Amino acid sequence: MPGAQREVMWPRLVANKILRKRSLAGSNNFVTDFPSYRETFLESASSGQPSLSIFNQQKDVHKVFVSTWNVGGVAPHDDFSLDNLLDTCNSCCDIYVFGFQEIVPLSVSNVLGSENSKISMKWNSLIREALNRKLRFDGKHGKSTETSIPQDFQCIVSKQMVGILISVWVRSDLRPFIRHSSVSCVGCGVMGCLGNKGAVSVRFRLHETSFCFVCSHLASGGREGDEKYRNSNVAEILSRTSFPRSPSLELPRKILDHDRVIFLGDLNYRISQPEATTRLLADREEWNALLENDQLRMELMDGQVLQGWHEGRIKFAPTYKYYPNSDTYYGGVEAKKGEKRRPPAWCDRIIWYGKGLKQHLYSRGELRLSDHRPVNAIFTAEVGVSQTFKGFQSFFRSDRYEVEVSSTDDIQYCKGRSSSFQL
C-alpha cells in the first residue's frame, strides 16, 4: 500500500473503531447458546403475581467458579485441554465464568480491525468439552447432586473485545431463571478508548439477584508510578460501564449497583521493591513478605479507587512472567543479552465487591501455554428466590415445558455443538 493511502486509511480506521465501540458500549450483542424467548416467557408468566416476588422471598446458595488467564496471544493447539483449570473443583459448580486476555496478539491490525471470532469460538469449544468431561467424571464418582435434573452446561453470554474474552456458563436447570443478560465494553487502551486495554462486563439476573462480572486487562508497566495508570483504568471502567435499560424491570446500569460483583483479569499490578529483592523472596517462596509491597493489596487497603473491594488470601506463587512452556521466571539469571528483566508479580487477580459472596478457594493453575499462569476462585453466592419462581421451577423441568418449547417457531439452538448462536 502506498504511503499516502496508508496515511489516509489509518485515521479512518481509528475513527470507525471508536464509533463502533461507543455504539456497542452497553448492548445485547453477544454470543449465547439460547435466544432470549425464554426470558420473555418467564417475565410474562410471573408478571401476574408481583406481591409474591416481594413478600415471599427465600434464599438459595449457588457455587460460582471464576477463572482468569492471559494467554499471551497464543492460540490453543488442537488437542489442548482445559481440564487442569477445573481440577480445583471437588464437584461441579452452578455457574462458571472464564475470563481471558490477549486471545489474539495486540497488534495494530487486531486492535483496529474486527474481532477474530474463530479464536473465541475455539476457546468456547474447549470450555464446553472440559465442563462436559468434568460432569461425567463427577457423576461417575457420585459427586453430582440432583442427579434427576439435567446437568449439562449452557453458555449464557460470550463476548470479545480485541483480546479480552469473557464466557459465562450455567447449569441447564438454572438457565430458565437467568434474565436480562447484557454486556458493556469499555476500551482504555490507545487514545484512551481502544480495546487493547479495558474491560468487558457481563450482567444478568438469577432469580431475584443481580450479578456483574468484569473481565479486564489494565495498563502494563513495571516502573515506579505505573500503578497510577492502572488505577485510572479501574476508575474509567467503573464510571464508563453502563448496561442497557431493561424494558420490564428496573435493573442497575452501573457495576457497583449490582448485588454480586466480581472483578477479574490481568490487572497488571506489580511489587514495589527492587527487582533483586523480589526475585530472592520469590525463590524462597516468602509470599507474605512480597505481598507487603504488592500494589493491588496496597490499593485495596489504602487507595481511593478500590475502596470496599475484597481479595482472598494469596498462598500461591506469582503468576507472571514465565518463559512459555516453562516454570522459569523471565529475565532471571538465564536472561539473554538485551532481554527485559521483568520481576515476578501477581498480575492476574480476582476481587469482589458487596455482600452475599463468600470465597472458598483462591489458587492458580499450572497451564504453561503463555507467560502467565491462570488464577481460579470458587465462591458461594446467596440468591434471592421468590415463591413465584419456586413454583415455576417444577414447570420448567416438566414434560409440559418441553411441549411448549418444541411448538415455538423460529428458535435456533446450538446445544451440544461447538458453534454458538449469534444474537
Domain ranges of the chain: 59-143+151-422
Tell me which of 249 and 184 has the higher pLDDT: 184
pLDDT at residue 337, rounded to an integer: 63
Partners of residue 383 on adjacent β-strands: 60
- Annotation: CATH topology of 59-143+151-422: Deoxyribonuclease I; Chain A (3.60.10)
Tell me which of 5 and 137 has the higher pLDDT: 137
Digit-coded pLDDT (tens) for 186-242: 999 888 889 899 999 999 999 999 999 999 999 999 999 999 999 999 999 999 999
- Region of 311 please: left (phi>0), alpha (psi -120 to 50) or beta: beta
pTM over 0.85: no
Q: How many beta carbons lie within 10 A of that of residue 193, not counting itself? A: 17
What is the distance in angstroms between the CA of the first residue and the CA of the last residue of the chain? 36
Cell of 296: 493491588
pLDDT at residue 377, rounded to an integer: 97
Digit-coded pLDDT (tens) for 108-155: 888 887 777 899 999 999 999 999 887 777 665 555 444 444 469 999
Whether residue 182 contacts residue 200, with contact meaning beta carbons closer than 8 Å, is answered with no
Q: How far apart are CA 229 and CA 34, in angstroms?
A: 38
CA angle 202, 371, 274 (to 5 degrees): 105
User: 3-state class of 108 per DSSP?
Assistant: helix
Q: Hunting for cell 414447570 — which residue is that?
A: 395
Distance of CA 389 to the CA centre of its chain: 27
Phi, psi angles (nearest 5°) of residue 19? -65, -40
Cell of 232: 485510572
Tell me which of 401 and 186 has the higher pLDDT: 186
Q: What is the identity of the amino acid at 149? A: I
| Residues whose CB falls within 8 Å of the CB of residue 125, separated by 6 or more in sequence, listed in order | 418
Tell me which of 54 and 246 has the higher pLDDT: 246
